[in-house]
Chain A
């Protein structure tokens, strides 16, 4: 017969101060663990959602981001003629030749301490909009092609100075009017500024496009289009699915965050495990007589072991729940930082996934288990007579 569950639970309740201290240590560890994983997941989610699986991105070979890439007008004309490019409802090819540059803008905040960061300026064509259905105008109007007008993503409008509606930006010896603000949901486009590609290239004296985006006429046409572009001796370009292209951009940063987070929490968990161990050892030693009584009543060694393990697993479980409870509030926070790989500003949200909940709970229970194993073994090994004598 097993020792009742309520025995373990009530013991924790009896020594509240100690339980609270131990649990709060564990909760903090779980919180940090979950928060870092949420950050990496949020970054990846944002960049994966930026791409759409039917779209292909064409960039110069070996360039890791659009900013580094350049696509000559001559090459662009060849790609435009590919049979795999989908046709729009007026028969025009669904392809956009774009130019991507970085400009330094001042972040919002205190005049002295606010810093500059790199923001993506994307020169777009008319076709760019239907290729990115996630982009929706929230205020103002769309830019007119052929004019010095720009529309700004909402993360940039929120985080930077001088990019509000009707405000002007100056670059390339020209003044650019912000005529609209768009929301691209949880994607990287929300951290960009869009203008007319020909105007942008003219202003920055760029002779070549940065990249091309086109929609495949059939989802299975990917391989044919890729071969056609990469095997053509006239072209030094490479083609990727848009989803893969953006996922690749999140890799380095997400990996950095994961390594950092995991190694930190492993170190932290040592502290929490020790806390649990101290608590459980003292629980065992102050209850020696009780253990003796239980044994005398006929409970077996493994019942005692299980009762104490349950107690320490409960500690871990409560710690895990509290840690996750607070971590879930982090979902309301959006952080904006520079992605190392593209060197440009990117805003993303902390994202809690079922996988992270699972990992955190397993982690919390593991801490409880490791902390409780030795004390529980000690409790189960006591001799009945000695234990009873202790009272």
Chain B
């Protein structure tokens, strides 16, 4: 108890310096926490992916379609429970700045495959009954102020022209890891329309979404599907939803890695600042240490004193930083909901924050401690002079 009191007294001996250092640490831990959250929200889609869903796409690359006639063939494969399909529509609302993911899907099966998208029964019925109907996530609807029954027009970037929809339902996520910024409409609506203008692009789908009976045999099912279409005009590549989503992130790997690296740089910067503070403190207190040594305290006690002081400072700053991370993440997540539909601070991030705070304290205290232990009593006392 006595020790703790001394540590706090020492740490706040120079109020201005301690305040500045703590502020610096709080900012650094806040930045570190936000960056880790940015990285983890890149992977939010992977975390949310179900193990019982497979995605089949064209083996050449994602931009090539598959014929709709594959539906029934895939349904016959052993282990397949449900088959749904859809296209990336790539439409924009009013102009390109208003980007959100929009897909046309086979609605009945798609929502059966995604039980985490919760839609009110009445709304669902009216959506299924209306071919021009659309479903939007709650966050998306809130962002643009859409209500059920509103008319929405999207400008097609892949399928030219203006496309009119009636918002028939709004889905909510079963929990807060579900992306609520997506927009879905009937595949048949798109197909009927392009049949007239671009017959060569009709009757094709961008991907098949497949529900399997048992997740543990999903790999065999995937192989069976790909084997069936081997050496055909449109060869397929089937993988779990997780692997599929991971593939997208792997493409922007360089950026994720850069953010990860930068998040460690901030820790280094603050380490330099804290090390500086500790160096100054111990230099000023050389005389004190010499007196302690004269009284018979050993190297161990002095080490405890310096490390303890560094810990008091970094942990105070760290705790403030962690406390600030939550409101900051909420504000940031609201601003950037286009890029990061799910933005949550994970428990892991908090652990890493705490570890970082300890690390900063220890590394910053090493050199000053060595210096304080090595100094000879006579030299130390002389400096009071």
Please encode chain A, from 23 to 50, with 1 for each CB lying within 8 Å of some chain B CB and 0 for all others: 0110011011000000100000000000
Interface membership of B279, Cβ < 8 A: yes
Known: A21-B279, A173-B231, A275-B273. A267 touches B266 (CB 8 A): yes
Residues 249 to 279 of chain B near chain A (Cβ within 8 Å): 250-255, 258-259, 262, 265-266, 268-270, 272-273, 275-277, 279
Q: Which B residues lie within 8 Å of A325 (CB)?
A: none
Partner of A282, one of B17, B30, B157, B258: B17
Q: Which A residues lie within 8 Å of B265 (CB)?
A: 28, 31-32, 268
A338 to B247, CA, bound (A): 12
Q: Which B residues lie within 8 Å of A282 (CB)?
A: 17, 280
Interface membership of B200, Cβ < 8 A: yes
Interface membership of A22, Cβ < 8 A: yes
Known: A32-B265, A268-B265, A271-B266. A18 touches B24 (CB 8 A): no
Please encode chain B, from 145 to 164, with 1 for each CB lying within 8 Å of some chain A CB and 0 for all others: 00000000001111010000
| Contact of A116 with B250 in the complex, beta carbons under 8 Å | yes
A149 to B279, CA, bound (A): 67
Interface membership of A73, Cβ < 8 A: no
| Chain B contact residues: helix, strand, loop or mixed | helix
Q: Which B residues lie within 8 Å of A236 (CB)?
A: 160
| Contact of A268 with B61 in the complex, beta carbons under 8 Å | no
Looking at A60-68, A125-133, A179-187, the stretch in contact with chain B turns out to be A60-68
Known: A17-B279, A62-B160, A278-B21. A335 touches B254 (CB 8 A): yes
A28 to B267, CA, bound (A): 11
Q: Which A residues lie within 8 Å of B156 (CB)?
A: 62
Q: Which residue of B lies closest to A275 (CB)?
A: B273
Interface membership of A167, Cβ < 8 A: no
CB of A24, distance to nearest CB on chain B (Å): 5
| Contact of A18 with B276 in the complex, beta carbons under 8 Å | yes
| Contact of B155 with A270 in the complex, beta carbons under 8 Å | no
Residues 137 to 194 of chain A near chain B (Cβ within 8 Å): 171-173
| Contact of A337 with B155 in the complex, beta carbons under 8 Å | no
Partner of B251, one of A207, A267, A338: A338
| Contact of A117 with B250 in the complex, beta carbons under 8 Å | yes
Please encode chain B, from 229 to 254, with 1 for each CB lying within 8 Å of some chain A CB and 0 for all others: 00101000100000000010011111
Q: Which residue of B lies closest to A279 (CB)?
A: B276
| Contact of A61 with B273 in the complex, beta carbons under 8 Å | no
| Contact of B233 with A173 in the complex, beta carbons under 8 Å | yes
CB of B359, distance to nearest CB on chain A (Å): 15
Q: Which B residues lie within 8 Å of A31 (CB)?
A: 265
| Contact of B62 with A104 in the complex, beta carbons under 8 Å | yes
A204 to B234, CA, bound (A): 9
A6 to B237, CA, bound (A): 70
Q: Which A residues lie within 8 Å of B266 (CB)?
A: 267-268, 271
| Contact of B63 with A67 in the complex, beta carbons under 8 Å | yes
Known: A264-B262, A278-B21. A21 touches B276 (CB 8 A): yes
Q: Which A residues lie within 8 Å of B270 (CB)?
A: 25, 271
Known: A115-B251, A274-B21. A28 touches B276 (CB 8 A): no
Q: Which residue of A lies closest to B270 (CB)?
A: A271
| Contact of B279 with A103 in the complex, beta carbons under 8 Å | no
| Contact of A278 with B269 in the complex, beta carbons under 8 Å | no
Interface membership of B20, Cβ < 8 A: yes
| Contact of A25 with B160 in the complex, beta carbons under 8 Å | no
Q: Which of B20, B21, B156, B259 has the most CB of A within 10 A?
A: B20
| Contact of B27 with A28 in the complex, beta carbons under 8 Å | no
| Contact of A274 with B160 in the complex, beta carbons under 8 Å | no
Q: Which B residues lie within 8 Å of A337 (CB)?
A: 251-255
| Contact of B262 with A25 in the complex, beta carbons under 8 Å | no
Beyond A22-B276, A281-B17, A340-B252, list 6 extra A-B contacts (CB 8 Å).
A32-B265, A101-B61, A104-B62, A104-B237, A173-B231, A267-B31
A interface vs B, CB < 8 Å?
17-18, 21-22, 24-25, 28-29, 31-32, 39, 60-64, 67-68, 101-104, 115-118, 171-173, 204-205, 207, 236, 260, 264, 267-268, 270-272, 274-275, 277-279, 281-282, 335-338, 340, 343, 345
7 closest Cβ pairs, A-B complex = A115-B250, A338-B251, A337-B254, A274-B24, A275-B273, A25-B272, A21-B276
